[in-house]
Structure 1
Amino acid sequence: MQEYCFGIDVGGTTVKMGLFRTDGELLEKWEIPSHTENEGAAILPDIAKAALGKLEERGIDKKDVAGIGIGVPGPIDANGVVPHTANLGWGYKEVTKELTELTGLPSKGGNDANVAALGEMWKGAAAGHKSGVMVTLGTGVGGGVIINGKIITGAHGAGGEIGHIHVDDEVPGACGCGNHGCLEHVASANGIVRLAKWMLEQNAVKTVLDPETMSAREIWDAVKDGDTFACEVAERFGKYLGLALSAVAGTADPEVFVIGGGMSRAGQIVIDYIQKYYVKYVFRGCRDAEFILASLGNDAGMYGAAKLVIEE
């Protein structure tokens, strides 16, 4: 029986690497830099070198390793092919094929948000559930949809791109994807600041928040302190997310929504604002979906990537 596997979470600055037992126990985790120069040519060779080095260090035979799972930022199809990933410098790249050739180990790949969702469903806050949606509220709004234990990737690897559901026709500016009115534009950590600044421009009111320097964390701190304006921002934030997630629920009917990312550190209050509007807008049959805070933090991607190569 193969006892070990690797979970790899590739980011634009660092690669998070984890050596796991196939029962989900994390034995060791470490990071290596993401060398994105020269179109990211060194990223996969660096990963392979680090993984093989870890096996040698621990005296683990390759035949005892189920494989390497890898999460990457951006779309990746069922064959492990990335069409383009800007922040890694990659153009078209056959990621899993190359990783297998470099290591001699089976490999499977997934989008980073999707594998983080899988990690939370497997060993995180949603453990015990089979169908769920993870929403990552960070610099952007990421998403992952898991149905019956399987990632929904879609025809182009773009399944679960919750951040690009259209929710707004008022706040000016384009989303990073080029469209206007995306959830990410108004409900990410950057988006809620953008939203607050725009709301202040529409109606200058008294608030503890400084429009020149405020951050998402400061907005939520002000909400907790009862700042009237900050609470109005939180209401609008909650409406956007509640509306978007009600649409997701009408399609996927999850048991649970897992809220993660940097903004989730504000705690239960974030869920309270989202759930209030979710219940208002969602189809009655999906109203009882549970909302919980993610628990694996930055390790979720490693766990989910490892799960990719572990057969049920």
Structure 2
Amino acid sequence: MKKLVLAIDIGGTKIHIGHIHDGKILKEKIFPTNSKAAAVEILHKIRTQIESFQVDFDVIAIGVPGLVDEKKGIIYDLNNIPSWKEVHLKDFLESHFKVPVLVTNDANMFVLGEKCFGKARNYRNFVGISIGTGLGTGIFIDNKLYAGNYSAAGELGSLPYKDKTIEDYCSGKFFLQQYQLKGSEVYEMALKGDEKALRIFDEYGSHLGEAIKMVLFLLSPQAIFLGGSVSKSYKFFEKALKDSLASFPFSRVLKDLVIETSDISKVAMYGAAALVEARLDKASKFSNQTPDIQ
């Protein structure tokens, strides 16, 4: 019997809750993350929001943007929520709601959703890059999700780049730090043909292309899927990204590489359902190629 899943995607600016059954989102809500609040205050806010949802569920699946001890459900050192240095989220929610709680990195939720419901179904080796407030990377190797120790595999955004990190130049932070604009504002400007906005996206695409080169050198995946709010602007930075990739030395790898944006709305919600299938039910029916957790 398929389980009723309560999916929670915790981000630096918002928290998204979805009620999912049999691959369908039945109900959902989004509320802002008070990222500057004390850890316990945020925990109680999440619990209160779950209670106010007023739905039945068999399991809670959560994605967070940082390090996770997946067995114990402990979250460590979230950059976008500074007070979350060591949060025992699994114990906190299980003791109150009396259902199993699964916790993983939010980028893993993204690639699980893409694998089971999206364009990645037919790829055994691929990478998903989720670009929003920050930058997260999920990895599938030989048809298995590779999370690594503390779910920290694929922390591409933390790699040094120029004077800061990849995340500073390849996430929504780039627009704020370099131009004091939100990515959504630059997007709206670009839609109107604004030359400044188009130049900003060209610059952004060049940086993201450099980051993708690092992925190619390390993993050489068949495909890379872009998700998150910034990926909606892909048409404005696609050319600059590919121009940047043109200098990658292994032309055969580049020739076969597929780069696409995710076309699944709320992909992390579906990834939560896939996580439950993979972890608890073991035999997912969402895909002909059942993803395993490694």
Query: How high is the TM-score relative to the length of structure 1?
Result: 0.72
Larger CA Rg, structure 1 vs 2? 1
Within 5 Å, give how 1:140-179 maps onto structure 2: 140-168=134-162
- Distance across 2 between alignment mates of 1:130 and 1:138: 25
Amino-acid identity (%): 25
Higher share in strand: 2
Judge conservation of contact 1:96–1:107 (CA < 8 Å) in 2.
yes
Deviations for 1:52-101, whole angstroms, at most 9, x for unmatched residues? Answer: x301xxxxxx6xx3x22111232112222112336273332222233333
Query: How high is the TM-score relative to the length of structure 2?
Result: 0.76
Gaps of 5+ in 2: 284-294
* Pair 1:3–1:137, CA change in 2 (3 A): closer
Q: CA RMSD in A?
A: 3.2
Deviations for 1:177-204, whole angstroms, at most 9, x for unmatched residues? Answer: xxx3312222333314645x6xxxxxxx
Q: Residue 42 of structure 1: SS of its match in structure 2?
A: helix
How many angstroms does 1:162 deviate by? 1.8
What corresponds to 1:8 in structure 2? 8
- Distance across 2 between alignment mates of 1:100 and 1:273: 47
Gaps of 5+ in 1: 56-61, 169-179, 198-212
Deviations for 1:100-126, whole angstroms, at most 9, x for unmatched residues? Answer: 332222221111233123223322343
Choose which of 70, 78, 100 in structure 2 pairs with 1:78: 70
The one-letter code of the counterpart of 2:268 is G
* Pair 1:90–1:113, CA change in 2 (3 A): same
What corresponds to 2:207 in structure 1? 240
- Distance across 1 between alignment mates of 2:5 and 2:141: 23
- Distance across 2 between alignment mates of 1:242 and 1:33: 31
- Distance across 1 between alignment mates of 2:32 and 2:161: 36
Judge conservation of contact 2:67–2:76 (CA < 8 Å) in 1.
yes
Choose which of 237, 244, 247 in structure 2 pairs with 1:270: 237
What corresponds to 1:28 in structure 2? 27
The one-letter code of the counterpart of 1:303 is Y
What corresponds to 1:174 in structure 2? none
Matched pairs, number: 272
How many angstroms does 1:160 deviate by? 1.8
What corresponds to 2:288 in structure 1? none
- Distance across 1 between alignment mates of 2:176 and 2:121: 33
The one-letter code of the counterpart of 2:156 is I
* Pair 1:193–1:9, CA change in 2 (3 A): closer
The one-letter code of the counterpart of 1:255 is Q
How many angstroms does 1:12 deviate by? 4.7
